[in-house]
Amino acid sequence: MEETLVFIDSGFLSKLSRHFGKGKYLIYNIIDFAENLAKKQNLECKHIFYYTSPPFQSPIPSKTEEKKKDGYDRFTNKLKIRGVIVREGRCQRLKIDGEFTFKQKAVDVLLAMDLTNVLLEYKNVKRIILISSDSDFVPVIKNLEKKGVRTILYTYYEKKRNTPFSRSNHLIKSVYRYILLKKEDFDSAKLKKKEEK
């Protein structure tokens, strides 16, 4: 079976998980999730790249911030132990109209860098899987295509107006194939009881 690499934009996937969970995040095994998507394309998952950022920490972290960071560290450490390549940006806190908002920074840059490195580090890989909805990756995807590496995009969009999942024709047109993610994709990768601890 042909090998592939799976690149996961965790911000997008987290938002989609909450959408499918009707406001609650779905609980699932990220590794099984990625491997299942690869199998659907008759590909064997060689490596999983996971792009995220640690939760925001104040100079003197609050108990809530410490708890979030502890949970994040336990989660990412489990991924690393199982061979997932975790790439971390940073979390920026902004105050807009008196309300705090949080944004991941440098995560997209890291993902784009690793996509480019496919040509150097994984010369036998001819098809990759990208889980995202970000059209910023289009130039890299087009460059990979020119060099013989095709991108299979797993994404999600809705045709309704005023939805957090807007359609990016630019991104969809740039890839070799795109597939819309479904709730069943998450359900088929449910955590086993011992993994929940």
Helices (H), 21-105: 30-40, 63-81
Number of domains present in the structure of the chain: 1
Residue 99, CA atoms < 13 Å, CB-side half-sphere: 3
Most confidently modeled range among 54-63, 140-149, 158-167: 140-149
* pTM (two decimals): 0.90
pLDDT at 190: 87
For residue 6, give the nearest of 110, 152, 142 by alpha carbon.
152
pLDDT at 61: 81
d(CA 53, CA 72): 9
| pLDDT at residue 90 greater than cutoff 80 | no
Tens digit of pLDDT for each residue in 118-136?
A: 999 999 999 999 999 999 9
Q: What CATH number should be reported for the domain holding residue 95?
A: 3.40.50.1010
For residue 35, give the nearest of 189, 191, 196, 195 by alpha carbon.
189
pLDDT at 182: 96
Residue-range definition of the domain harbouring residue 27: 2-196
pLDDT at 163: 65
DSSP state of 41: T
Query: For all residues of the chain together, what is the average pLDDT?
Result: 89
DSSP state of 104: E
pLDDT at 2: 95
> Do 165 and 19 meet the contact criterion of CB atoms below 8 Å apart?
yes
Which range (52-56, 59-63, 145-149, 191-195) has the least confidence?
Answer: 191-195
pLDDT at 32: 97
pLDDT at 65: 84
